[in-house]
């Protein structure tokens, strides 16, 4: 995909994340492109959403590919994961808005994120870095809910990116870290 098409897909993702029920005309206007160009990107609305979701899935899969999940470096790793997640905030919000759709790529990404983070949090618990009275899967869900909620606030202009990362560190780590660790 060339740079111009990637930029159009990024703009479309932002438009869809902001207003998932928008008409094609509204999406084209919000993405700053003509309706004909929008149609060339994906055709009918359903196909367009599916292509945008697939593109967002690829972007979030790439984030997972960047990391070596080593529990001994939990704090800097999760801060960096938070930063990268914020960078792709519109993609995350689009996928949250489309989670009810039956799109296999979305289901596969969700499974991969869950498996990766569950394993990572379990390793951190085994190393004594995270509390063991909260399951690894509960930590994964807490992380995901915290990130998506704060990303939504950042997208709405209620928080800056720096505030999101700072809040994640304070809320997640001070509640999840074992006493005296980090």
Q: Which of 103, 19, 112 is nearest to 54 (CA)?
A: 103
pLDDT in tens, 51-77: 999 999 999 999 999 888 888 888 899
Residue 179: predicted pLDDT: 62
172, 142 Cβ separation under 8 angstroms: yes
Question: pTM of this prediction?
Answer: 0.83
Q: How many of the other CB atoms lie within 10 Å of CB of 111?
A: 10
pLDDT in tens, 34-47: 888 888 888 888 88
92, 52 Cβ separation under 8 angstroms: no
33, 48 Cβ separation under 8 angstroms: no
DSSP, collapsed to helix, strand or coil, labels residue 156 as coil
130, 176 Cβ separation under 8 angstroms: yes
pLDDT at 1 over 80: no
pLDDT at 89 over 80: yes
Q: Which long-range contacts (CB under 8 A, 24 or more apart) does 36-45 make?
A: 37/8, 38/12, 41/5, 41/8, 41/9, 41/12
pLDDT above 70 coverage of the chain, percent: 96
């Amino acid at each position: 995909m060339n740079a111009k098409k990637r930029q159009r897909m990024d703009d479309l993702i932002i438009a869809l994340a902001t207003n998932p029920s928008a008409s094609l005309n509204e999406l084209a206007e919000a993405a700053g492109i003509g309706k004909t160009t929008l149609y060339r990107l994906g055709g009918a609305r359903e196909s367009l959403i599916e292509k945008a979701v697939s593109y967002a899935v690829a972007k979030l899969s790439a984030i997972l590919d960047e990391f070596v999940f080593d529990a001994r470096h939990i704090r800097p790793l999760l801060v960096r994961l938070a930063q990268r997640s914020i960078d792709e905030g519109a993609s995350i919000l689009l996928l949250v808005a489309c989670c009810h759709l039956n799109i296999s790529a979305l289901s596969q990404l969700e499974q991969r994120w869950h498996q990766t983070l569950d394993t990572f949090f379990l390793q951190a618990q085994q190393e004594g870095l995270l509390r063991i009275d909260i399951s690894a899967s509960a930590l994964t869900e807490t992380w995901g809910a915290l990130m998506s909620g704060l990303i939504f606030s950042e997208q709405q202009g209620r928080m800056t990116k720096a505030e999101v990362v700072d809040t994640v560190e304070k809320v997640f780590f001070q509640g999840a870290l074992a006493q005296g660790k980090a």
